[in-house]
Each structure stands twice: as structure tokens, then as C-alpha cells.
Amino acid sequence: MASVSEPALRADGLRAEWTRTWAFACRNVIMARRNVFFVFELTFWPGVAMLSHGLLTQFLALTPEMTAFILSGTVALSAVQVCQLDVAYAVLFDIWSKSMKHQFLAPVGIRHLALGSWLVGVARGLIVFGLMAFIGTRAFGFDFLGGGAGSLAAFLAGCFLCALVIGLLVCTLVLLFGTRAETSAWAAVNLIVMLAGIYYPISVLPGWVAAISAAIPLTYFLDAFRAGYGFDSQFSAPLTKGFALALLYVALAHWALAAAITRARRTGLLLKLSE
Amino acid sequence: MLAVEARGLTKTFRTGWLHRRRTEALRGVSLEVPRGAIFGLLGPNGAGKTTLLSILATLLLPDAGSATVLGLDVVRESLAVRRRLNMASGNASFVWSLRPAEVLMFYGRLYGLSGGALRRRVEELVELCELTSHRKTEYNELSTGLKQRLAFAKALLNEPEVLFLDEPTLGLDPDVSIRIRAQIARLRRERGTTIILTTHYMREAEELCDDIAFIKAGRILAQGAPDALKRQIRLGEVIALRLDPLEPAGLASLPGVLECRLREEHLECAVDAADKRLPEILRWLHEQGVVVRHCEVREPDLEEVFVELNR
């Protein structure tokens, strides 16, 4: 082995902040390129969901507005699922490869892993949306821009913010309960989307469930998007409420993950997840 | 100037239903490691070596006590500590689909390296750890030795001032172990890196370490330079004899003979002072009609110190 001659390398500042964030983004991209299950996440399941739900709307002979109502739920579920998985992968990759301690041995914060992996999640979520929009428009005549470009952009931004919250919560659960909580990465989003009124208005839910729904930001984003297709909005200023709630939850989820990491350092779970 | 200072570190792990099962991993460990030293932590499995390293590396929070690395508190100033240390373990693992350079790029970025500086550093370490011909191989396809070399390369990414090595040569072929040991010695010699290593291999510790601490059941039993430890444990010197008959009765009860043990074909007698006892023993053997085929005086090795402390 040769000898090393580089002077001391220890970077800090804004550039280093971005570099640390970029590290997680690059890793997610490499993993997405090399593992076949990412292709399924990105194309197969969203494609199947859009085709099956679109065919269902045709069988039931739904109006274009009702078709938009159903298919907007289908898009929300797939986009949120794919994006939140990327955030969860920031921790899950290390758990599956038993390399957790190396990540937390480095001077990184939650903001780096969350933002870096979320950026890839947003990119993948947009690809999923593009695919679903293509199928929806060509096969079922669903116009995703029916409510206007601004409405669609706000809807997608809301979906991706919700995905960030769910992804951070999955990371928190995994760092609290170890590998037992892995399944939450796939289960959590389905529960939340169900409560947010994915294929129905939340007015059909029992009163106490509807109260929970009102605390979920995705409920407001779906409501605002569907309003663009002529449905009565169930909330006043849904986008403002949705974004305010989502940002509050991002802050809370960040705090929860920080607390879970501290607990994992205290209990030794951080080391156990590396064995 | 101390690189590492620990005072009364304790750590208990709670496991099982309602966390009722308690395992005391550390029971008041205190330690001082000067800058630029290679310090060995020796002890049986479950002694607390990895727990101690993990606390110093900020991966684990102690229940009580305090520790500093380069004068920084490992609990209150953990982020600043992490910038200046690194760690490699014998059973290290990385994300399965990444290639060696990609693993190094990922962790290099976590340490804030970017652009040309990162690329140069990665290239240098790939070459240093002889991974050049495995550039295209994904991590899960690498052999154990290559994985270990990659873990070692990763630990050097940020040019750490303090380097923790947890069983760095565990399960490696002898030639790879020798090269890793040479690299560890060179790091200290050329860069003044403080290195704390845990190992099961006594010869490795004896070859590399300035100071050694024996840890057992969460307590440090003895600490010092290898030679001083041998004196401290009072193992005396060893007279190794090949005799016919192999083990004559009564030899162990001669004056000055502390203990006799049969090891393969040799009878090893620990004595208080070899220069005084050797003539007496040879005379006694002659009187008993025992044939002496081979005789050798040597100092006890660390393995014997370890065995003695483990009793």
C-alpha cells in the first residue's frame, strides 16, 4: 500500500452543507439505476393503478368530472408513495446493508439526508405523474390541466411535502423500533391517503374519522385540486391550510427523527442496526 | 496533550420484555490516550471494548461519566468531534450496489468534500488500499479482504486526527493483515494520527501499540506499555524446556518456580528470576536423571498476560 500525501481535508460552510445533501441524492440515484425493484416502483405499480382505475371509471360510465375525482386520488397515492419511499431509503438502505453507524459517524444532520433523498423523490414522483398523466389522457381522456397549471403545480407540491413528512415518520419509526418497523414504509402512506379522502369526499367518513382527516394536509390538497373540476370545496382556503399544516408537520417530523436518533444512540439501537 | 480522555464511563444495555434484562457493558472506565499514540484495547468477547469505542466515536451515549476527544466533549460537542475522527471495523458493511469509489464518494461528501478535492482523495485511497482493479465491482461482490480494505479507506477519507479501529484485521489473510498493520504504523509515523484499536490478536497489539488496556466485564484491569504490563502482572520470565520424560514430577515445587505448564512438546516454567533459577533447575533435572533436549529463556508474551488477567 502506498502512502497518502494530501493535506488535511475538513470542509465546512454552505458548500459543504450542499455537498452533504447531494451525497444522499447521488446515492439514491445510483441505487435507482442499479436495482430492478425501483423500475417497478416507478412504472409498473403506477401504470397498473392508473389502468385499473381508469377502466373502472369507464365500466361505471362516470362523468369526466367524477373520473377526474377518482384519478386524482390514484395519482396522489402513487406520487406520494414513490416520493416518500425515497426519503425513507435514506435510512432503509443503511439498515438493509447494516451500515447505519457509518452514516451517523459522519458530521451529517437530518436536513441533509431528508432534503437530499427528497429531491430524488420529487424527481421520481414527477416521472410517475408524467407516466400516469400520459396513460390517463390517452386512454381515458382525463385532462390533468383541467383545473389550471397553477392548481396542478400546487397539488403536486402538496403531495411531495406530504411525502416528505411520511418519509421522515417512517425513518423515525425504524429508528425507534428497528427492522420491525420497515413495513411502515409501504403501509403508512396507504393509511394516510385513505384518511385523506383518496376516492371519496371526507364528508362520507364518520365524524371522528373526518376530524382526523382534517388534520392531514393531503386532504386539503386533494380538495383544492378537485375544486378545479367543479366539485364544491369542503374547506375555506384549502391550499393555505394544507401548506401551513404540511410545513408544521415537516418541522415536527424533523424533531421526532432527531429525538429518535438520540434515543437510538442511548439504547444502542444505532449499533444493533449495523450488526 | 491528550487525544482521548475518559472519566468513569458507565453503560448498561436494557433488553428483553419491558427492558428488564440489564447488561452492564462498562462499569466506570477511565482512560487517557496521548496524542499520536497507538493505544490497544484488549479483552475477551463482551468485555466492553466496542462499547467504549462507540461512546468515544459519538455513536453511543454513556449513562454516566464523561469523555473528550481532542478536548471536545463527545456528548455536548459531538458534531465537532465527528469532523475530526473516523472509525473502521472488521465487520464493516456498506450499501450493496455501490462500487468502491462510489462508497468513498458518498462518505467523502458526508465529510463535506466535493469537486476535484473529493475526486483526488478517492483516487488516492483507491490506490492506497489496492482497490484499483476492483473499481467496477459492486460492494456485495467484493471478497472479505477487499471489503475490509474499503472500510479502512473510508476511515481515512477525512484525514482523521483520531482513528478508531475495531478489530481491523479480523478474518483477514495474513498478507493483508500485515499490510494493514504496516499502514496503521505509517499513519502514526507520517501524520501523527492517534489510533485506538481493539484486537484479539496479541501479537498485533504487541507489534503496534505504545500502550495497552486490558478490559474485562466492563472494567479496565490493567493499563500500560506492553513491557510494563508484563512486569505489573508479575509473570516473571519463562524457561521453556524440552525434556525426557516430558513433565518430571516435583519441578513446579522448586524454589522460585511460579508455575509450570505443558505447551505442545515444551514444559514452560514461569520463574521469578531466570538467571538465578536456570542453573538450579538444570542441576535438579540432572540429579533426577532427566534428559534436557532443549532449553530457552524468554519473556512472557502478551497472550500470557491476557490469560493471567482473564483468570
pLDDT 10s digits, B216-249: 889 998 888 887 776 666 566 788 999 988 888 8
Cell numbers placing A1: 500500500
Closest CA relative to residue B215, chosen from B2, B6, B34, B3? B6
* B112/A6 CB distance under 8 A: no
Residue type present at position A12: D
Cell numbers placing B86: 473516523
Convert the pLDDT of each residue in B77-108 to its tens digit: 999 999 999 999 888 899 999 999 999 999 99
pLDDT at A209: 93
Give the E-state strand segments of chain A in sequence order: none
**What is the nearest CA distance from A54 to chain B, expressed in angstroms?**
36
| Separation between Cα atoms, residue B202 and residue B200, nearest integer Å | 6
Instruction: Tell me if A88 is assigned to some domain.
Output: yes
Determine the structural domain holding residue A204 and report its residue range: 19-272
Cell numbers placing B233: 502482572
| Separation between Cα atoms, residue B173 and residue B176, nearest integer Å | 5
Residue type present at position A38: F
* A96/B60 CB distance under 8 A: no
Give yes or no for a cis peptide into B245 (omega within 30° of 0).
Answer: yes
Q: Which of B83, B91, B186 sits opposite A10 (nearest CB)?
A: B83
Tell me which chain A residues have a C-beta less than 8 angstroms from the C-beta of B107. Answer: 23, 102, 106
Residue type present at position B60: L
* A29 shares contact with chain B (CB less than 8 Å): no
**Which residue positions in chain A have pLDDT lower than 70?**
1-11
- Domain positions in chain B are 2-230, 235-309
Candidates A102, A111, A261, A265: best to mutate against B (most CBs of B within 10 A) is A102
Convert the pLDDT of each residue in A83-103 to its tens digit: 999 999 999 999 999 999 999
pLDDT at A3: 43
Give the residue, A27 or B299, on which the prediction is more confident.
A27
pLDDT at B29: 95
Tell me which chain B residues have a C-beta less than 8 angstroms from the C-beta of A108. Answer: 110
pLDDT of B310 higher than 70 = no
Instruction: Tell me if A6 is assigned to some domain.
Output: no
CB < 8 Å from B in window 55-94 of A: 93-94
Closest CA relative to residue A80, chosen from A121, A28, A39? A121
Convert the pLDDT of each residue in B29-62 to its tens digit: 999 999 999 999 988 888 899 999 999 999 999 9
Tell me which chain A residues have a C-beta less than 8 angstroms from the C-beta of B93. Answer: 97-99, 274
Candidates B69, B82, B110: best to mutate against A (most CBs of A within 10 A) is B110
Candidates A99, A103, A113, A272: best to mutate against B (most CBs of B within 10 A) is A99
Complete DSSP assignment for B230-269: HHHTT--EEEEEEEESSS-TTGGGSTTEEEEEEETTEEEE
Nearest CA in chain A to B124: A4
Tell me which chain B residues have a C-beta less than 8 angstroms from the C-beta of A98. Answer: 93
> Are B164 and B196 spatial neighbours (Cβ–Cβ below 8 Å)?
yes
Mean pLDDT value across chain B: 88
Instruction: Tell me if A210 is assigned to some domain.
Output: yes
Tell me which chain B residues have a C-beta less than 8 angstroms from the C-beta of A104. Answer: 59
Candidates B95, B104, B136, B157: best to mutate against A (most CBs of A within 10 A) is B95
* B110/A106 CB distance under 8 A: yes
Taking the mean position of all CA atoms in its chain, how far away is CA B35? 17
pLDDT at A2: 45
Q: What average pLDDT score do residues B167-192 get?
A: 86
ipTM score for this prediction: 0.88
Q: Name the percent of chain B lying above pLDDT 90.
A: 55
Tell me which chain A residues have a C-beta less than 8 angstroms from the C-beta of B112. Answer: 10-12, 15-17, 19-20, 107
pLDDT at A7: 38
Contacts 24+ apart (CB under 8 A), A12-20: A12/B83, A12/B112, A15/B112, A15/B114, A16/B112, A16/B114, A17/A112, A17/B112, A19/B109, A19/B112, A19/B113, A19/B114, A20/A107, A20/A108, A20/A109, A20/A112, A20/A116, A20/B109, A20/B110, A20/B112
Number of domains in chain A: 1
Orientation angle between helical segments B115-128 and B100-110, nearest 10 degrees: 130
Give the residue, B243 or B19, on which the prediction is more confident.
B243
Q: Which CATH number fits domain B235-309: 3.30.70, 3.30.1480, 3.30.1490, 2.40.50?
A: 3.30.70
- In DSSP terms, which residues pair with B31 in a beta bridge? B6
- The percent of chain B in helix, strand and coil, each rounded to the nearest 5, is 40, 30, 30
Q: What is the CATH number of domain B2-230?
A: 3.40.50.300
pLDDT of B204 higher than 90 = no
